[in-house]
Amino acid sequence: MRSLTTRRFLQIAGLTAAGLLLAACGKKEEAPAPAAVASAPAPAPMKVYTVGTDAAYAPFESQNEKGEIVGFDIEVVQAIAAKAGFEVKFINTPWEGIFNSLGQGDRDMIVSAVTITEERKQTMDFSDPYFDAAQLIAVKEDSKVAKFADLKKMKVGVQTGTTGDEAVSKLLGKTNTNIKRFESTPLALKELEAGGVDAVVADNGVVVHYVANNPGGKFKTVADTEFVPEQYGIAIKKGNTELLALVNKGLADIKADGTYAAIYSKYFGAPLAPPAPAASK
């Protein structure tokens, strides 16, 4: 009885609302389709873009205890999306094959502390740079290593296919068996702790973060100006100029309104540092 009354009431209310809506529409407009009568027209749903990220790269991207993907890169992309008016869905994607997933259309973009390189630009497009980086060496506290060239005869751990791998391949020779390649940077650093490699070469932000958070590992870092300055960009499928423009616009907006600087200082503590000086050669 009661639910019937309620239903009846809703029916009447709906009809009344529809009547008001029709009246408000004025004469020039055609009556909307019946399904849309009772409610205000819904805004067009926002486009959802999939974002691939190798979430084993703190503080840029990692998984928290709840399994959520978090980090500097994640917040930057979320802020860009909010500004540019699209939604994003992050998908943990192994580094090996991450660029294939973009090329094949399984991901719309990649944010993964990806260094913009001439070689990669052949097969993908990049947003404007959003972060300055460089390679950094991690060794045990008691290591004698003082510069990159000192690694020449040593066992060096890298993440396969990264710019760290590239730098070490150049110094030691690509096929040198002293290069130990790992599927993630944390795995390489664990091997350093275990004594399986003498050094690890990886992005400075990740190495500094790892060393600071693993005091038991007794690591130290060694910088070298031999390493060329790098810049991170968001990778987008080659030729998707529409998405590229959206992302660049959002990035420029979050840089202009202070959002980027706020995310930066949340993760890196200090105010925005000036861009790294060009390598002196």
Closest distance to ligand ARG from the beta carbon of 142 (Å) = 27
Distance CA 86, CA 246 (A): 9
Q: By C-beta, is 172 or 207 nearer to ligand ARG?
A: 207
158 CB contacts (<8 Å, ≥6 apart)?
164, 165, 168, 179, 180, 181, 182, 188, 200, 201, 202
Q: Which is nearer to ligand ARG, 83 or 203 (CB)?
A: 203
Looking up tokens 């993630």 gives 184
What is the nearest approach in angstroms of ligand ARG to the Cβ of residue 141?
A: 25
Of 183 and 193, CB closest to ligand ARG? 183
Closest CB 133 distance from ligand ARG, rounded Å = 6
DSSP codes, 219-247 = EEEE--TTSPPEEE--EEETT-HHHHHHH
Q: Which residues bind ligand ARG (CB under 6 A)?
A: 54, 57, 61, 95, 112-115, 159, 162-163, 185, 203
Query: DSSP E strands: which ranges in the chain?
Result: 48-53, 56-57, 61-63, 69-70, 87-92, 109-110, 124-126, 131-133, 135-140, 156-159, 179-182, 199-203, 219-222, 230-232, 235-237
Nearer to ligand ARG, 50 or 253 (CB): 50
Q: For ligand ARG, which is the closer residue by CB, 150 or 203?
A: 203
**Minimum distance between the CB of residue 69 and ligand ARG, rounded to whole angstroms?**
11
Q: How far is the CB of 61 from ligand ARG (least distance, A)?
A: 6
